[in-house]
Structure 1
Amino acid sequence: MKSILRVSILIFLISNTSSFAQGFQGKAYYQTKTTFDMKMDSSRVSTEQQDRIKEMMKKRFEKVYELSFNASESIYKEEEQLEQPGKGGFRMMGSFGSGKNYKNTKSKTYAEEQNLMGKQFLVKDSLKVMDWEFQDESKMIGKHLCFKAIATKQVEQNAFSFGRRNRNRSEEEKPKDSLKTIEIVAWYTVDIPVNHGPDEYWGLPGLILEVNADKTQIVCTKIVINPKEKTEIKEPTKGDVVSKKEFEKIRMKKMKEMREVYGGDRRNGGSGRRIMIGG
């Protein structure tokens, strides 16, 4: 059955690709939502305070992105929005941020703008090739028939503590970074035969319209083919150029520094809050 599906997709792509010639361009808009487990190991945090913090975190992870693409290149960036009241309560989260994410599926490279504590970096590296497995399932997303594909990847699970620390806590009790394997479920449409997708996702025989990755969901809400106003799709150049591996080393160092800064009073008997963010 899966082989029949692959052949059907291949035939459709051959007949449909001619209409997506080199001059074509498209835009897709995506809504992202992330749920997370929040563990606060402080008896001093009331239920009301916890609810308020959870709401602020929820707003932090609900965003709208725009993907501009042509036959072989794409730019993925967050749409500019006015700062919502209450978001400033998590300034430490704002110390880390990403800008434009450029992908070139022809050269299999990417360049992503990243900001760490006010310093601009440009992460340039090879695109990660996912081992997609085609499934028999299909569904409609808007007016587009989409097919399912799955893959797995390892992600970092970060524990971030703030508040007062207890110096008597054992090493086993301290927050640690760890890796876990998650399943990626993607839905793509061969109506738009380009191998682009939101965020880091790509490599399927059609535009990816939905991704479910652990606790994060990315869903396409609008598509415009050959918009009147063209977007210049070119690789970003601002920032100190580093590889993915180099950037991760810098980021982990900054995270360690922030844990120390937000550790506050290190006297014995202190308490704190712990946030687990994974996937």
Structure 2
Amino acid sequence: MKNIFLYILLLSASGVFAQKTEGVIHYEYQINWIKMMKKLPFLTQEEKDRMENTWKNDPDPKQKMNLYFNEKETLYTWGQDQQEYEDENWKSRNRELIIHRNFETEKRTDMLEILGKTYLVQDSLKHIEWKVMNQIKEVAGYICMKAVAEDKVKGQKITAWFTGDIPVSGGPEQIYGLPGMILELDADDGTVTAVATSVELKKLDKELTLPKLKGKKVNNQQFDSVISTYINDSIKMQRNPYWAIRY
């Protein structure tokens, strides 16, 4: 907690009066497939080396994501020009993905298409145990401080860079809970990243309004059980679970 207070004090001397609490943040989401595959425990070192040599010159595609926000809520989804995903070799429709956080009511509403079906997760916000570090860097023109946590369901280390200049406790993907907006997210030492490329501070219209929701309704515990069971079963069957779920 001491690091958090030091960070807020630092910001007060460098622009806290310019705080804004409404707009849209544009992110680039990227998966490093070589790093992901090399973490699979059932692959031999020879298989991992061969895979790295085969793919090392192939660039990892970047997907555009948007996070709409005000002082009370956030909504994270595909970028408006990113409804389909394609590269040189293939093209497909993006899966359903709406991640909504209401910090005033402390409610979570996520519509996620995984494992061939759409889930509607509606429950209270989960507490994330953050440890704020001393490192500072600039992301998308904002001074950010580092924080780390662990995704206990997926067993992943989470690193976030957040800014108090946008005093909203939101962030990309399903990550939040810091005293400022997360502008850069790193899961599993660079296996997956979501990095803000620009921040538009503006009055929103209907961007935070949830569309008509669909899917199998589950709570936090039920959804976590679906994810953890699928990951464990996939590893036992020597399959990569992240072809079917979001990393």
- Note whether the superposition's TM-score is higher than 0.5: yes
For 1:189, give the aligned amino acid. Answer: T
Gaps in structure 2 of 5+ consecutive residues: none
Aligned to 1:114: 112
Q: Does 1:218 align with 2:215?
A: no
Q: Does 1:246 align with 2:243?
A: no
The gaps in structure 1 that reach 5 residues or longer are: 157-179, 264-272
More contact order relative to length (CA 8 Å, sep ≥ 6)? 1
Among candidates 199, 203, 208, match of residue 233 of structure 1: 208
Cα drift, residue 276 of structure 1: 6.7
Which of these residues, 126, 137, 145, is aligned with residue 139 of structure 1? 137
Q: 1:118 to 1:132 in 2, by over 3 A?
A: closer
Identity of aligned residues (%): 24
Secondary structure of 2:101's aligned partner: strand
- The superposition leaves residues 55-97 of structure 1 with CA deviations (integer Å, 9 ceiling, x where unpaired) of 59x44xx322100011111110022235335236xx9xx8x94
Which of 84, 90, 97 is matched with 1:99 structurally?
97
**Contact 2:230–2:241 (8 Å) recurs in 1:** no
Does residue 84 of structure 1 match 2:87?
yes
State yes or no: 1:192 paired with 2:192.
no
* Largest Rg, 1 or 2: 1
Task: Indicate the SS of the match to 2:179.
Answer: coil
In the alignment, structure 1 residue 202 sits paired with structure 2 residue 176:
yes
- What TM-score do the two structures reach when normalised by structure 1? 0.65
The corresponding residue for 1:160 is none
Deviations 1:14-65 (A, max 9, x none): 9648x64xxx621001112222125767x9xxx69x947x959x44xx3221
CA positional deviation for 1:144: 1.1
Checking the alignment, whether the CA contact within 8 Å between 1:5 and 1:136 is kept in structure 2 is no
Distance in 2 between the 1:254 and 1:148 partners?
31
**Partner residue in 1 for 2:64:** 64
Aligned-residue offset at 1:104: 0.9
1:225 to 1:37, Cα distance in 2 relative to 1, 3 A:
same
State the secondary structure of the residue aligned to 2:84: coil
Distance verdict in 2 for CA 1:74–1:84, change over 3 Å: same
> Please, what is the CA RMSD of the aligned residues?
4.2
Alpha-carbon distance, 1:13 to partner: 11
Structure 1 stretch displaced more, 121-130 or 111-120: 111-120
Measure, in 2, the Cα distance between the counterparts of 1:258 and 1:205: 36
Q: For residue 104 of structure 1, what is the amino acid of its counterpart?
A: N
The whole-number CA distance in structure 2 between the counterparts of 1:28 and 1:3 is 23
Q: 1:65 to 1:72 in 2, by over 3 A?
A: same
Give the number of equivalent residue pairs. 230
Residue 34 (1) aligns with residue 8 (2): no
Deviations along 1:138-164, whole A, 9 cap, x unmatched? 1112321111222223243xxxxxxxx
Contact preservation (8 Å) 1:116, 1:251: no
Structure 1 residue 106: Cα displacement: 1.8
Partner of 1:8: 9
Quick one: distance in 2 between partners of 1:75 and 1:51?
A: 38
Asked if the contact 1:98/1:112 (under 8 Å) is kept, the reply is no
Counterpart of 1:86, as a letter, is: N
| Counterparts in 2 of 1:148 and 1:241: CA distance versus 1, 3 Å | same
* Residues 276 and 202 of structure 1, relative CA distance in 2, 3 Å threshold: closer
